[in-house]
Structure 1
Amino acid sequence: MFRYFDQSVQFKEFWELFQKNLILHAPLEEQVREAWEQRGHPNMMFLLYEEMKKDLPAVIDRVCTFLGKEYTKEQKDKLNDYLQFDNMKKKSPFVSSEDEKKDSELKFMRKGKSGGWVQYFDDQMKKEAEEYMKKYLMCTKLQFPDVNS
């Protein structure tokens, strides 16, 4: 979301706008809660990036089952290779803007690691983020993996 802001906007200002639901696609917590309420629906699947990083072949199997599709081991191996971060980054269908070419922080696909948000947050913002999560998202019981472990 931050990448869609004018480059003169500092992240701290974006964070303040985010907390006030003054950004595109806000409020985020409503979207997460609405989706969570549908988690039992046969057309709803929750999938976290951290799950893919931890065990992509298992996630591929899970998605195949969810979609009611069967693939050979060779097809799944090929998909696993294609979906590796470095390969996806090279083959990204997302068109890079001129701004993205100049500034690596704006790239849609940056490092392929969880927890990059930490570099943008000062101590006060981290505290606010924890409070935000407790207030708005913990009622879903959606478990976000600890990116520090």
Structure 2
Amino acid sequence: MEANANLPFEIRQVPSELNAQLLKDFTGERTGFVQVGPKKWFLPAKYREFAAHFYNFQPRPDDVWVVTFPRSGTTWTQELVWLVANDLDYETASRVPQVERFPFLEFNIFFHDEVKSEILELNQGDPFKQQLVELISEPAYLSLQEHQGRRFVKTHLPFSLLPPNLLDTCKVVYVVRNPKDVAVSFYHLNRLIKTQGYQGDFRKYWHYFEKDLHPWTPYWAHVEEGWRRRHHPNLLFQFYEDMNRDLSSTIRRMGSFLGKTMDEAQVARLADHLDIRNFRDNKAVNYDLVKEVGLLNSGEPAFIRKGKVGAWHAEFDEELDQRADKWIEENLRKTDIVFPISLHK
């Protein structure tokens, strides 16, 4: 497939001086970054090679997709979706890592070839781990195309970069989380995983996030695309804060959306399985495969962190908080999005 075949948007390189600064701060990328379409979706340069594969990917009627801006409760939602759709098969969920049960559509574009070579060298002499590296770095669309049976797909790409017939073909769950908690959680992930390799402090990180110079931004355009589709019968739109506040109701709503019924005992057991205290200790969802091959930096919080609403307070000082509030107010005025909580407290 030609790299940019049938694409209704342009892909442009980030200006060279800005690109050089970004490469110093995000050491997991070695080539640079691009901005896509009129909204300037920010992605690594490798996106150019695979954009058509994502946009022209063929969804199937029995697919279930989870679409989110990163760190919006994605992994939590994936586990909920998979278990409900698979009749609460806890045995398989504990035995098969979530990254295999629920492939991440575009992860390969973040796994730079130079980083892959370094990780392969790190695991030299261990054929099993080297095979894991090859598995992790393989484009997910290839394995998904070959997959027999129901498919579960995770992506952080916005709707405008995904197959145009996605919602008219299959079920999609879209989750939104308040931007301050997203930014703090994403900051720690960027420091944790070597494919991102962020080197700076949170203040500088917020600058990139706020200025839409960070993978998958702009945040507000991403959320607005999900919000605009919230009434589509094939879309379940969820706020992370509502999920956190009443998990049992969320489970029942998911069951209804996926055509599954559960009794109270089953709902209670699933709520316990998904409780953040248990979820953090669940090796099947905590990116243990990635950790095993050396893709995670030591000294950083685990992939599954606190899962709290309002955890952003730990990183925002008063000045940065006021700046963030102004940014939030300016962007909320452009939409009719109504969050279930105050974004300032």
CA distance in 2, matches of 1:108, 1:148: 26
Corresponding position of 1:59: 250
Matched residue SS, 2:237: coil
Taking structure 1 as reference, are residues 29 and 63 closer, same or farther at Cα in structure 2, changes over 3 Å only? same
Taking structure 1 as reference, are residues 100 and 113 closer, same or farther at Cα in structure 2, changes over 3 Å only? farther
1:56-83 CA distance string (max 9 Å, x none):
1111111112222212223222211111
> Once the 2 structures are TM-superposed, how far is the Cα of residue 130 of structure 1 from its aligned partner?
1.2
**TM-score normalised by length of structure 2:** 0.39
Corresponding position of 1:112: 307
Counterpart selection for 1:133 from 299, 317, 328: 328
Q: Is the 8 A contact 2:242 2:340 kept in 1?
A: no
Amino acid at match of 1:68: G
Counterpart selection for 2:300 from 95, 103, 110: 103
Corresponding position of 2:286: 94
Corresponding position of 2:339: 143
Taking structure 1 as reference, are residues 112 and 26 closer, same or farther at Cα in structure 2, changes over 3 Å only? closer
Corresponding position of 1:14: 205
CA distance in 2, matches of 1:55, 1:135: 30
Corresponding position of 2:220: 29
1:23-48 CA distance string (max 9 Å, x none):
01011111011111101111222222
Structure with the higher fraction of residues in helix conformation: 1
Q: Is the 8 A contact 1:57 1:76 kept in 2?
A: yes
Taking structure 1 as reference, are residues 82 and 117 closer, same or farther at Cα in structure 2, changes over 3 Å only? same
1:122 and 2:122 correspond: no
> Once the 2 structures are TM-superposed, how far is the Cα of residue 141 of structure 1 from its aligned partner?
2.4
Counterpart selection for 2:259 from 55, 68, 74: 68
Please provide the CA RMSD for this pair: 2.3
Q: Which runs of 5+ in 2 are unaligned?
A: 1-185, 191-195
Structure with the higher fraction of residues in strand conformation: 2
Percent identity at matched positions?
28
> Once the 2 structures are TM-superposed, how far is the Cα of residue 90 of structure 1 from its aligned partner?
0.8
Q: Is the 8 A contact 1:114 1:147 kept in 2?
A: no
Taking structure 1 as reference, are residues 148 and 17 closer, same or farther at Cα in structure 2, changes over 3 Å only? closer
Higher relative contact order structure (alpha carbons within 8 Å, sequence separation ≥ 6) = 1
CA distance in 2, matches of 1:32, 1:79: 28
Amino acid at match of 1:29: W
Q: Which moved more, 1:71-80 or 1:84-93?
A: 71-80
> Once the 2 structures are TM-superposed, how far is the Cα of residue 120 of structure 1 from its aligned partner?
0.8
Q: Is the 8 A contact 1:32 1:137 kept in 2?
A: no
Amino acid at match of 2:230: R
CA distance in 1, matches of 2:299, 2:208: 25
Greater radius of gyration (CA): 2
CA distance in 2, matches of 1:121, 1:8: 18
Matched residue SS, 1:102: coil
Corresponding position of 1:49: 240
**TM-score normalised by length of structure 1:** 0.84
Q: Which moved more, 1:55-64 or 1:107-116?
A: 107-116
CA distance in 1, matches of 2:258, 2:297: 34
Q: Is the 8 A contact 1:57 1:80 kept in 2?
A: yes
